[in-house]
Amino acid sequence: MKTGTIHTLNIQHHTEEGYTLQHDIFLPDRDGELDLQEGESVKVFLYSDKKGNAIATTHLPSVTLDAYDWAEVTRSIRGLGVFVDIGIPKQVLVSIDDLPYLERAWPVEGDMLFVKLTTDKKGRLLALPASEHFFEANWEFAPEELLNKPISGRIYRTSREGSALISENGYRGFLHHTERKQEPRLGEWVEGRVIGVKDDGSVNISLLPYKHQRMDEDADVILNHLEQNGGVIPFSDKSDPEEIRGTFNISKAAFKRAMGQLMKEGKIKQHDGKTILTDVDNDS
């Protein structure tokens, strides 16, 4: 009998460790929680132990070989993958082959993956995240009224170009890499805003604040960096874009906007390729 399936089986024997069912399948009950009788029928889910033996449980998961559902990530093992809890005594592996190439985009404990079950060549259960094709066929059509409205949901696909999200209302969204400060994890819950409603009913999403809010935040980052470095930093409008991003995690264009705002407010000045707090300049 195939693991990952649900069956109704007769109880043949009862021991201190549990019950032997039809086809020599074992139903553990070491804690004596089950009250079953020989000859009685019981509905069980089948999985395998470390030795590959078929094991039964009366905990019937919503995730099966044929059905998807959300499963919580419980742990991650480098080079192997992550494990999810589908509601049975054994955690199920999501293989590294079905996770993002970059480990920093892997889900962490508490994230949720939309998965169904599959088996490897040895019959061991694996959890398989839903594909883009599945979500394309199973989502709600977003109304135009969503434009500029808040939206929250979970990341179900990541790529270099961006991330795909399914909202709590079932809307499918795309998050371009320019509309985020860092790449979200697969399975991470994010909150953003709708910046576009497409003809196919999907939406474009941004995790960034509005431009004026962003400028204020970027200016605060620069001021904090100045204060932590004695009021003088080796950055100006002519600094290298990669050095700016590596230090402040913002683009050169955003850096220049924030610098312009700070200079207009009289908080900084630039000299010989450096930016100086005016308070420091006045003190000297």
Task: Report residue 139's pLDDT band, with 50, 70 and 90 as the boundaries.
Answer: confident
Specify the pairing of strand 203-206 against strand 172-176.
Answer: parallel
Q: What topology does CATH give the domain 6-57?
A: OB fold (Dihydrolipoamide Acetyltransferase, E2P) (2.40.50)
Q: What topology does CATH give the domain 211-283?
A: Arc Repressor Mutant, subunit A (1.10.10)
Q: Provide the Cα torsion 209, 212, 218, 221; round to 10°.
A: -90
> What are the pLDDT digits (tens) for 81-119?
999 999 999 999 999 999 999 999 999 999 999 999 998
Q: What is the pLDDT of residue 36?
A: 87
Q: What is the pLDDT of residue 210?
A: 66
Domain residue extents for the chain = 6-57, 69-130, 141-206, 211-283
69-130 maps to CATH 3.40.50.300: no
> What are the pLDDT digits (tens) for 177-208?
989 888 999 999 999 999 999 999 999 999 98
Nearest by Cα to 28 from 4, 6, 5, 45: 45
Q: Provide the Cα torsion 128, 130, 133, 134; round to 10°.
A: 120
Contacts of residue 238, defined as CB under 8 A and 6 or more positions apart, other chains included, come to 273
Single pTM value for the model: 0.73
141-206 maps to CATH 2.40.50.140: yes
Element (H, E) at 219: helix 211-228
